[in-house]
Structures are given as C-alpha cells and as structure tokens.
Structure 1
Amino acid sequence: MAHIFAVFLAITTFSSGIIWCINRIKSLQYRYRKNKEGQCKGMEISVEKGQGGLIESIASIFPVLLLVFIVRSFIFEPFHIPSGSMIPTLLIGDFILVEKYAYGLRNPITNTVFIKTGNPKRGDIVVFQYPKNPRQDYIKRIIGLPGDRVDYNPIKKTLSIISSCVNKKDCDGLIKVTYSNDKENNRILSKFSTNVLDNTFDQLLSNDLYLEGLHITIRSETIDNMSHRILLSNWEKSHLRSIPQRREEVPLSWFVPEKMYFVMGDNRDNSSDSRIWGFVSEDHLIGKAIVIWMSIDKQIGQWPTGLTFRRIGMIQ
C-alpha cells in the first residue's frame, strides 16, 4: 500500500506541477500583454476569466503536494505497526516516523540510492522491503553487519556475534553481548494472547491457542554497549518440540555477506526474520525508525479502544 501511495503521490505532484507551470506562464503572458497595452499602470491584474475552476484548483495545490512529496520521499515517512514482532519495543497500533535520509537519499519509486549519507549500525531499528516481496514493508532490529558471524542459541535464547569474518573462517573481534533483568510479564501475555503464537520460531506440538504452560519474559539485551528490551516466550517441555530436534531444518549460525544485514524482531519467539528467510540487502533499506508519534490501543482483528499517550517518544 505504501508503494502504491508513493507512485500515486509522485504522479499527482508531477501532473499538478505541469498544470501549475502552464497556468503560471499564461498568467505572466497576460500581465505582460496588458502592461504593454498600457492598461496596467502599477495595479494588480487578475487572471483572465475562464482560467478558474478545476484547472486553477489543481494548480493551487501543487506547492502543498510538492512539500509533502519532498518530506515523505527524502526526510520522514510515517508507518504504523500492524503486528507484534517488535514487542516490547513497538506495539500493535503504534505509529512511527522513519528517518528516510539516515542511510542515503533514494529514488522514491525504485528505492535506488543516489546520495549515500551513512551506514546502518547494530541495534538500529529499520524499515525495509521484505526480500520475498519488495512491495511489502517490514520493521526489525539490525543484529549483524556485513562480515559478521551471528550465532543463536535456541535453548538459552542468546546471541553471539563475531565481526570481521573472512571467507567464513578467519574471524576476529568478538562483539560483547550481555543479558540481564529477566522479568515475567503476564500483562503482555493477556493483552497479546490472540497473536502470541503467530510465526513462532519454536515449533508447538499443538496449533491451539491454549496458553497454559506459556511464560512471557522481558529481558534486557546489550549489544556493543547498546541496550534494548526483548520478549521471550517460554513453553513448558510438554508443549514444545525443541528446535535442536529440527537442527537440519533451522540453521543456528549465519555469515552475513557483503552489503547484507541480519535482522531480528525483539519478540524473539514470535518474529519472522533473518533466521527464517535470510538477509536484508542494503538496497532494500528504507530508513531508520526514530520516534513513536501516536499510539492507539489495538489488537489484531479488533477496533481501536483509545489512545496511549505514554508511548509517544523516541524509539530505543
């Protein structure tokens, strides 16, 4: 939908710009002719009759459309959060602003970079085009940079990152990753129980949304001195078929290629991310999420019930 709107906005802005230019030229020609005839002596001359109506209205909105086009295409773009893959950092119903120029100025239609302005860092929350379907936008946190080796322990649910890997063998530079402050949080479980099992990285023995034996834990994760919170869903063994039994299907170690990034959702057990479908190309990056500007109290498939002002602020 965002891509369709971008194309529509570009076409509308371009079309109204042409009409504005034609209308402006005609107006100047009219004024010049009247001045030359001596009928305009320092007085304001109105536009010729017959130039009003629809054409005049379209021309008048061009400056507004141009401003919206520039801001949305190159500076900031609003997005909304439709799923729970970034809980607890971002909740369903959050509206965020994405800094479009964080990593480069891009063609708003093709997303091609024409001026590079920076590089993504570990811990950045980025909006990008889903590799399997570029027309669909995803939002995740960058975990691995080009050249990194990323290891994920599905039992302890911890990360290990080694930078500067060459030919998938020689690596140096262990990135410090620490964890602390595990807290069970039943409020999140009760609020998001309708979708807490969607897209789980672990494999449940049953497809039922029966949540007995499920414990929700919030943990603080620090990667290279940058801290954020992650959400863990811990099932009792009787409810779970463990990932190590499916090791041949789910790789637990990844080498990040050049110009690629490894991303994960903060809702570690309820996120479709690089562990499932691979890396994100830098050509697919859209921008960096920086602020929540509005938040509505909402769950998937339900109508909003109100605004949540306490969530407005910068994103960590």
Structure 2
Amino acid sequence: MSWNFALILFVLLVLTGVVWMMDVAWLRPARQRRVADAAAEFDRDRAPHLARVEGQAAVSQHRERTLAEAGKAPWWVEYSVSFFPVILFVFVLRSFVVEPFRIPSGSMLPTLQSGDLILVNKFTYGIRLPVVDTKVIGIGEPQRGDIMVFRYPPEPDVDFIKRVVGLPGDEIAYVNKELSVNGKPVPRERMGDYFEPDRASYSAEFSEQLGDVSHRILLDAQPGGSEIYPNVAFPYHNRCSYQPGGMRCTVPEGHYFVMGDNRDNSADSRYWGFVPDKNVVGKAFFIWMNFSDLSRIGGVR
C-alpha cells in the first residue's frame, strides 16, 4: 500500500511538473502575448464606442473581463500549476524526512497500541531514492532496540513495524520464551500484569534491556515454551533451526531479525524470516496522535 502510494505520488509529481515547466517556458508567455494583443485591440476598436454609450466606468469593467478571458489558462494547466508545489513538498517530505504510519494491530504492545499514528524518520538509516528505494547515501544503520518500519518481505506492498533484535552476523535464540543474543540472555525484569483490551486477557509485562534501549514486552501468563513453526520457506531459512519450545537463527549479512514487543502475539522473523536492508523504510520515533487516547502523544523507544 505504501509503495503504491509512493508510485502514485511520483507519477503525479512528474505529470504536474512537466505541465508546470511547459507553462513557464511556453504557455504563460503565449497567454501574456494574447493579453497584450487583446488589450491593444480593445483600446483601438471597442473602448471609444463603449465610452460614448456606457461611460468610462463600463469601459474599465469590459476591458478587465476581456483581458481575463484572453489570459485564462486551460483547466488542466491551472490545476497542475496549483498542485505541483504542494505535491513536490509532500513528496520530498515523505521520501526523505518523515512519513506517517498508523499502527494496525497489537503486535507491538505495550509500546505501541492499535490506532497510534506515528512518525517515521526516513533518513536515520540513509538516503534512499523514492519508489525504487535504493540507498544512495549511507547515514546510519539499524541498531538493536530500534523500532523499525519495513516492507514485509513476503508481501513488499505491506508495511510492518517491529523491534530490531538481531543485526547481521548475530546469533539469535528464542527458547522457552527466553531471548538470547550471541549466547547472552537479554536481561528482563517482571513489572506486573498488562490488560489487553482486544484479547480481554492479562499478559505478564517485563522491562527488557536490548542494547542501549530499555523497553517493555508482554508474554502470555502461562509458563513454559511454545512451539514455533515457520509459515513460509523464507530466504536463508537454512540459517535457522527449530526445536521444541523455540528456535535459533544466525542473521545473514545485509539482513535484520525483528520481533514484536507482544512476543506471543506477533508474526515476526521467528515465522517469516529476515528483513533485507533494501526493505527498510525508517525508524519510528514519535506518536503524533491517537484519537482514542490523547495521552499517547509523545516519543517512543
């Protein structure tokens, strides 16, 4: 959906931009010449007669109307010239600076809720060409703990949002609901219980320290592990092994391993594999609105 919108915006930008340039180079000068010719013809042929019959005030009104008609641009030129600066501003802002997204599900609870409207920094991970999404300037790379928006690998037209857990070369293990990175358990501390309205149930809430980022996660209250079955034969699936209660993966170069903060209710890299760098969109950094709860507005991490 996001990729389609970017393509539509790009096409509109090109079309209106071409018309805008045509107007500057040829159409507008031609209109100005028509106005000048119409003014000369009116002053020579019509003005004296109108002055005698209707008075000088009427001459001015008729002259203004005649010149306006002579200088009127076709509707498609008017619309293109009017909308081109707006489309250009939106295109540049959305492609290189920030892009808005809406959280559609509870997979990132308790950090992000369904209905949160967030802003995503588009240049944190480098400057990419719009539409084709090819990185041309490397500014930074995703880090463990980042909340990252990306194009869902099995369906690139769909945007997903998850937390970066594994970087290229990392060994990720998730066994019996315990997360380890490169053989070291990720520290977490029990905080209490969290009520999920969508599921009408309680989950155990923990504070987790992933890299430099301290954040909250949810785990279903029942003890023990859970079986993980990949739902697709994803690229580099041979780098993952599945076992009773969990799985282990080694992240390939140029890819990332991501998970939802709502660990038992998130479709993420455990099931469909790694996120290639070419699919990265940006880093979520701010909730700018939630119409059901205005207190949600603020930064996220």
TM-score by length of 1: 0.75
Which of 184, 188, 192 is 2:198 aligned to? 192
* Matched residue, 2:279: 284
Cα deviation for residue 180 of structure 1 reads: 1.2
Measure, in 2, the Cα distance between the counterparts of 1:250 and 1:32: 80
- Write out per-residue CA displacement over residues 258-281 of structure 1, whole angstroms, 9 at most, x where no aligned residue: 111010000000001111111111
Q: Which residue type is aligned with residue 188 of structure 2?
A: Y
C-alpha distance 250-219 of structure 1, shift in aligned 2 (>3 A): closer
* Matched residue, 2:133: 111
TM-score by length of 2: 0.78
Matched, 1:181 2:182: no
Q: Which runs of 4 or more aligned residues in structure 1 lie more than 6 Å from their structure 2 counterparts after TM superposition?
A: 32-35
Measure, in 2, the Cα distance between the counterparts of 1:178 and 1:99: 28
3-state SS, counterpart of residue 284 of structure 2: strand
What aligned pairs does 1:38-187 form with structure 2 within 5 A after superposition? Answer: 48-154=70-176, 157-162=177-182, 177-185=186-194
Instruction: Say whether the 8 Å CA contact 1:30–1:47 is kept in structure 2.
Output: no
Measure, in 1, the Cα distance between the counterparts of 2:228 and 2:128: 42
Cα deviation for residue 251 of structure 1 reads: 5.4
Matched, 1:273 2:268: yes
Measure, in 1, the Cα distance between the counterparts of 2:78 and 2:110: 49
- Write out per-residue CA displacement over residues 36-61 of structure 1, whole angstroms, 9 at most, x where no aligned residue: xxx8xxxxx98952415342122111
Matched, 1:222 2:206: no
Instruction: Say whether the 8 Å CA contact 2:97–2:121 is kept in structure 1.
Output: yes
Which of 217, 220, 234 is 2:221 aligned to? 234
C-alpha distance 244-71 of structure 1, shift in aligned 2 (>3 A): closer
C-alpha distance 47-281 of structure 1, shift in aligned 2 (>3 A): farther
Count how many residue pairs are aligned between Structure 1 and Structure 2.
262
* Matched residue, 2:28: 27
Measure, in 2, the Cα distance between the counterparts of 1:280 and 1:67: 30
Cα deviation for residue 249 of structure 1 reads: 7.5
Q: Percent identity?
A: 41
What aligned pairs does 1:239-250 form with structure 2 within 5 A after superposition? Answer: 242-243=226-227, 248=243
Instruction: Say whether the 8 Å CA contact 1:126–1:287 is kept in structure 2.
Output: yes
Instruction: Say whether the 8 Å CA contact 1:20–1:62 is kept in structure 2.
Output: yes
C-alpha distance 59-3 of structure 1, shift in aligned 2 (>3 A): same
Cα deviation for residue 244 of structure 1 reads: 8.8
Instruction: Say whether the 8 Å CA contact 1:122–1:143 is kept in structure 2.
Output: yes
- Write out per-residue CA displacement over residues 96-120 of structure 1, whole angstroms, 9 at most, x where no aligned residue: 1111111111122121112221111
Measure, in 2, the Cα distance between the counterparts of 1:175 and 1:34: 78
Structure 2 unmatched ranges of 5 or more: 41-66, 230-240
Cα deviation for residue 177 of structure 1 reads: 2.5
Instruction: Say whether the 8 Å CA contact 1:27–1:47 is kept in structure 2.
Output: no
**RMSD of equivalent CA atoms:** 2.8
In our comparison, the structure showing a higher alpha carbon Rg is 2
C-alpha distance 244-261 of structure 1, shift in aligned 2 (>3 A): closer
Instruction: Say whether the 8 Å CA contact 2:175–2:245 is kept in structure 1.
Output: no
